[in-house]
Amino acid sequence: MLEELKEEEIINKVGGRFKLSTLIQKRIVQLKQGSRVLVDASGNEDQMRLVLQEILQDKIFLDEDDEVQVSPDAEPVTDVPDINPLDL
């Protein structure tokens, strides 16, 4: 089990275990669909760990409709230029 999930801090930050599970699941789906990572990945390919770091660093949260929201000050971390493939 990931150590971050054993800590009460992350559970309290999100508002409970159910909300934490919901946020993790929805954010992983977003990442798989191409959303950019909001924390330094440093070669880490484990999406679960990336999502946990995004939560701990207050980059993402669930709104009142249980939808994933990105904090206004969170910017994607990437070395890839933002290019529209249709412009190529």
Region 11-25: what's the mean pLDDT?
A: 94
Q: Rg of the Cα trace of the chain?
A: 14
Interhelix angle 17-32/47-56, rounded to 10 degrees, is: 120
Query: Is residue 85 included in any domain, yes or no?
Result: no
CA dist 68 and 50 (Å) reads 15
Region 17-42: what's the mean pLDDT?
A: 92
Domain extent, residue 68, equals 3-76
Considering its fold, how many domains does the chain have in total?
1
pLDDT above 70 covers what percent of the chain? Answer: 83
Tokens of 57: 């660093």
CA dist 38 and 55 (Å) reads 10
Query: Is residue 86 included in any domain, yes or no?
Result: no
Local structure of 29: helix, strand or coil: helix
Query: Is residue 83 included in any domain, yes or no?
Result: no
Between residues 81 and 87, the one the model is more confident about:
87
Is the pLDDT score of 80 beyond 60? no
